Structure 1
Amino acid sequence: MTSASSPPPPLPAPSEVRLRLAVQPRLGRTARRIDGAWWPRSYDLAAELPGLLAVLPRAWGRVSSVLVHGDTWLACPDRLDVAGREVHVGRRDAPTTPDTVCLLTPGRGRWDLLVVPPATTEAEAVRLMEQAVSQDA
């Protein structure tokens, strides 16, 4: 008996990815701590990450590594195949960053996104995302 591998699930449409990015970097000497906010539908990184990476600005380059909080993202593999490329997934357990995901791109930089918990109400999620990307945050 042979088994055929099932095709990967389709990526969510860009309008379905709940993401807000800061318009411009913070002015002055202080670097922006948060570059945007992401409201995933679940804590299943294998299901959520492809859609997120598909809608990031091209100027950010190709994300090669993602750092997530180990206690937040359950059953998280060390590597994920995202649109035909391998993305390394690292776990960190820093108590100061359980609500962020860090995206790394060789030669381009690092971007930190606030992760709004999936079960958050829409009104609260919108408020948190706007607050994260505001210039006054």
Structure 2
Amino acid sequence: MTTATAPPTTSTAPGLEPTGLRLRLADHQGHDHLDGGWWPHSRDLSAELRRLVDDFPPERGRVVRVLYSPPDWDNRPVRSLPVAAGQVKVGFFPHDDTHLVHLTMSDRSVWLLAVVPPGFSADQGDEALLAAATSGNQHSAADLLHTVEGEAASVPADHWARGS
């Protein structure tokens, strides 16, 4: 079973900032290829990381470092980012296009999250979050997103588990 940590919500009124952290985490971190998925509202890494770090479920830990895949974003924070709890160290994987973020927690555990493109439709985004957090997932983030982008409506939920 997976846990949706916050209901995905967006603002439909023109000019209003989207609200809500769109994040789905696996029940057990480190057991599968991915530990969940994150669906940012934009390609502004600084703004989206603040939302992710500040709203990350406290029972899952406190984020102290983030590594990201540069092609997913329009801007890059320098070496740290101010957040509600202080500063978070930020780095990136050079020449990487894996659609991932690695969140290092204060206890040194790491959450490996697929980054769902902000332009995905609601159905595609929901399917990608489900796939990334499904127990037994063995798909890379890139493969998962490619599959969802091409056939989200026709992929059965159990497709994402081990052996599918």
Q: Report the TM-score when normalising by structure 1.
A: 0.76
Q: Does 1:50 align with 2:50?
A: yes
- Residues in 2 aligned to 1:64 and 1:121: alpha-carbon distance in whole angstroms: 31
Q: Are residue 32 (structure 1) and residue 35 (structure 2) matched? A: no
> For the structure 1 residues 58 and 73, does the alpha-carbon distance in structure 2 shift closer, same or farther, using more than 3 Å as the test?
same
The match for 1:93 is: 94
Q: How many angstroms apart in 2 are the aligned matches of 1:54 and 1:88?
A: 14
Unaligned runs of 5+ in 2: 1-17, 138-164
Task: Give the structure with the higher percent helix.
Answer: 2
TM-score between both structures, scaled by the size of structure 2: 0.65
Structure 1 residues 58 and 108: CA distance shift in structure 2, 3 A: farther
Contact 2:34 2:133 in 1 (8 A): yes
Secondary structure, counterpart of 1:64 in structure 2: strand
- Greater Rg by CA: 1
- Is this contact kept in 2: 1:104–1:110, CA < 8 A? yes
What residue ranges of structure 1 are gaps of 5+ in the alignment? 1-11
- Matched position secondary structure for 2:110: strand
Equivalent residue, structure 2, for 1:66: 66
CA shift, 1:84, in A, is 4.3
Q: Distance in 1 between matches of 2:32 and 2:130?
A: 15
The CA deviation string for residues 51-91 of structure 1, in whole angstroms up to 9 with x for no partner, is 21223232433211100112222221121101141111101
Say whether residues 1:18 and 2:22 are aligned partners: yes
Instruction: Tell me if 1:81 matches 2:85.
Output: no
Counterpart of 1:3 in structure 2 is none
Which residue does the alignment assign to 1:111? 111
The whole-number CA distance in structure 2 between the counterparts of 1:90 and 1:54 is 18
CA distance in structure 2 between the partners assigned to 1:42 and 1:60 by the alignment: 24
**Cα offset for 1:115?**
0.5
Question: Which amino acid in the other structure matches residue 100 of structure 2?
Answer: T
Q: Give, in whole Å, the separation in 1 of the partners of 2:112 and 2:23.
A: 12
The number of residues matched between the two structures is 120
Assess if the C-alpha contact under 8 Å between 1:38 and 1:129 holds in 2: yes
Residues 56, 62 of structure 2: 8 Å contact kept: no
Runs of 4+ in 1 over 4 A off after TM superposition: none
**Displacement, 1:122?**
0.7
Deviates more, 1:116-125 or 1:47-56: 47-56
Identity %: 35
Q: What's the C-alpha RMSD, in Å, of the aligned pairs?
A: 2.2
Contact kept, 8 Å, 1:61 with 1:108, in 2: the verdict is no
